[in-house]
Amino acid sequence: MVRAIACLLLLAAAVQAKHEQYEGHFLYQVWGSSESIANLEGHLDILSATPAYRSESKKLEALVRLSPEEKVEWLPFFERHQMGYKLVSDNLARILQDEEFENSRARNATDQNSTITWDAYYDSNTINKYLDEVGAKYPEIVTVINAGLSYEGRQIKYVRISTTRFENLRKPVIVIDAAAHAREWVTPPVALYIIQQLVERSEKDLTDLIDWIIIPMANPDGYEYSMNEDRLWRKTRSKSHNGSEECPGVDMNRNFAFSWGTVAANSNPCSIIYEGPAVFSEPETRVIRDAVLSQLDRTYLYISLHSFGNMLLYAWGNGSLPSNALSVHYAGIQMASAIDKLKLDKAPIYIVGNAANVLYFTTGTSRDWTRLVGIPLTYTMELPGYEYQFVVPPTYIPQIITESWAGIVAGARNVLSLQNYPTQTV
Ligand SMILES: *[C@@H]1O[C@H](CO)[C@@H](O)[C@H](O)[C@H]1NC(C)=O
Ligand SMILES: *[C@@H]1O[C@H](CO)[C@@H](O)[C@H](O)[C@H]1NC(C)=O
Ligand SMILES: *[C@@H]1O[C@H](CO)[C@@H](O)[C@H](O)[C@H]1NC(C)=O
Ligand SMILES: *[C@@H]1O[C@H](CO)[C@@H](O)[C@H](O)[C@H]1NC(C)=O
């Protein structure tokens, strides 16, 4: 008993130490024009940006972390610039401590016999182990690819799922990635659940008629850093740019070759949206690039999983619409409606739209680059945060994976209904 209590205290102390850096940090909801919210991204830690539903004018609201010093500087700035704000929490460290305790409890309560279950978050090694297990269990349809090493030398794996060993070149391909942003922990479970549904053939036609490439852990260095050192880490952990000693890491979703290097704010290594020293400077973005290019001619749908905000965003990040915008919007609406049918009442419905129109201008995103190289349907998918925003408790994982899978099924069926290739491929 005494030992158990001592253990608990030790755990609490370790948890406290890790999150100490956010002791006394504030979370504020801030709202204002699209430009004013976009400008904050270059200077502050923006945890999410979503349309401000209650306003008729084009306004956004953002969840912003402010240190005590930043609070003194920025609240007057918000007032001078006609931006509204509201306190959400006055101690971020406590939120993160509570989350870690919940995760620890959830993991301890899970079935110790299986590598993963759908009610806890796992480290990147465990996720890789699970992928290898799936590959070993379903060798006839799954190939696990060791696609390359991260900057710190972790293996980045992806799975190819195909009933025809990727040899039937008339089948369409769908590519999905997750965890490009390290702190968005709820995205890998969604990718892993998609893999599980596909290998167990829960919708048989979707594997008979489509080949899949799924990258569930695109940024293992950042993810591990987020689990062990800094819960709010978003970028990679590379140190190959000028200024990387002080500010390591690159925002993977600004590192792709679309209008890269055209926005001054993205070239500051210390900002959360640092685009990197060059296009595809990160080994992690190169893994996604090469996976996409490997089957480009027959890839019809690309989805990058992010968290949070209930949005399906499409090209272009500069505000222009792609030539096939109607099809992109239509397929997005089908996915969104399938998800909305299953969502909990307290979640907002999905918003489908042009990324710059719904939010603000972006460069270097995987969504725009995949569209640019010719994939017809490409999206950034922002999963729900429910009332917990970015620290989604593990108890919500089953809900989020189930509703998101329904969206993926609708997206895949849309691919099959397109007219420009044969659907009877077997
Ligand atoms: C989970 O298990 C570990 C190892 O047995 C233990 O140290 C920890 O206190 C447990 N966490 C909770 C919240 O019970
Ligand atoms: C785990 O495996 C052991 C030994 O194979 C078995 O006795 C036990 O019932 C299993 N537990 C669960 C929850 O499946
Ligand atoms: C590297 O960064 C420093 C400041 O961090 C700057 O003074 C210097 O000009 C930069 N050098 C290059 C080559 O960009
Ligand atoms: C946005 O990018 C697309 C694709 O490169 C291009 O066709 C379009 O002209 C650009 N629009 C603006 C306003 O720059």
Residue 190: inside a domain: yes
Element (H, E) at 330: helix 325-342
Q: Is 270 in the pocket of ligand 3 (CB under 6 A)?
A: no
Q: Residues 288-306: pLDDT tens digits?
A: 999 999 999 999 999 999 9
pTM for the full predicted model = 0.92
Q: Which residues are catalytic?
A: 382
Residue 170: inside a domain: yes
CA of 7 to the centre of ligand 1 (A): 8
| Domain final residue pick, 55, 71, 98 | 98
Residues 7 and 65 in one domain: yes
Would you call 264 helix, strand, or coil by DSSP? helix
Please identify, by atom number, the ligand 1 atom nearest to the C-alpha of residue 105. Answer: 13
Q: Residues 344-360: pLDDT tens digits?
A: 999 999 999 999 999 99
Please identify, by atom number, the ligand 1 atom nearest to the C-alpha of residue 107. Answer: 1
Relative to the alpha carbon of 110, which ligand is closest?
A: 2
CA of 114 to the centre of ligand 2 (A): 9
Residues 31 and 155 in one domain: no
Closest C-alpha among 363, 371, 390 to residue 184: 390
Closest CA to ligand 4's atom 6: 320
CA of 175 to the centre of ligand 1 (A): 37
Identify the residue with better confidence: 109 or 65.
Answer: 65
| Domain final residue pick, 75, 98, 121 | 98
Task: For CA atoms 59, 273, 389, 216, give the dihedral sign.
Answer: positive
In the predicted model, what is the mean pLDDT of residues 175-195? Answer: 98
Ligand 2 pocket test, pick from 110, 111, 112, 113 with the greatest ligand atom count within 8 Å of Cβ, gives 113
pLDDT of residue 113: 80
Domain that holds residue 353: 112-226+277-417
Q: Is 111 in the pocket of ligand 2 (CB under 6 A)?
A: yes
DSSP states of 99-161? HHHHHHHHHHHS-TTSS--TTS---HHHHHHHHHHHHHH-TTTEEEEEEEE-TTSPEEEEEEE
CA dist 302 and 366 (Å) reads: 9
Which tokens in the block code for residue 272?
């959360």
CA of 321 to the centre of ligand 4 (A): 8
CA dist 372 and 382 (Å) reads: 21
Burial 383-406 (b: 16+ CB within 10 A, else e): bbbbeebbbbbbebbebbbbbbbb
Q: Residues 378-413: pLDDT tens digits?
A: 999 999 998 778 889 899 999 999 999 999 999 999
Residues 287 and 316 in one domain: yes
Residue 61's CATH number: 3.30.70.340
Relative to the alpha carbon of 109, which ligand is closest?
A: 1
Q: Is 108 in the pocket of ligand 1 (CB under 6 A)?
A: yes
pLDDT above 90: percentage of residues in the chain: 86
Q: Are 25 and 65 in contact (CB under 8 A)?
A: yes
Q: Residues 306-322: pLDDT tens digits?
A: 999 999 999 999 999 99
Q: Is 101 in the pocket of ligand 1 (CB under 6 A)?
A: yes
The total number of structural domains that make up the chain? 2
CA of 4 to the centre of ligand 1 (A): 9
Relative to the alpha carbon of 10, which ligand is closest?
A: 1
Residue 200's CATH number: 3.40.630.10
Please identify, by atom number, the ligand 3 atom nearest to the C-alpha of residue 269. Answer: 5
Which tokens in the block code for residue 112?
């110790």
CA of 397 to the centre of ligand 3 (A): 43
Residue 424: inside a domain: no
Q: Is 114 in the pocket of ligand 2 (CB under 6 A)?
A: no
Residues 203 and 316 in one domain: yes
Residues 187 and 317 in one domain: yes
Q: Please say if the pLDDT value at position 19 is more than 90.
A: yes
Helix-strand-coil split of the chain, %, nearest 5: 40, 20, 40
Residue 24: inside a domain: yes
Q: Is 262 in the pocket of ligand 4 (CB under 6 A)?
A: no
Q: Please say if the pLDDT value at position 420 is more than 80.
A: no
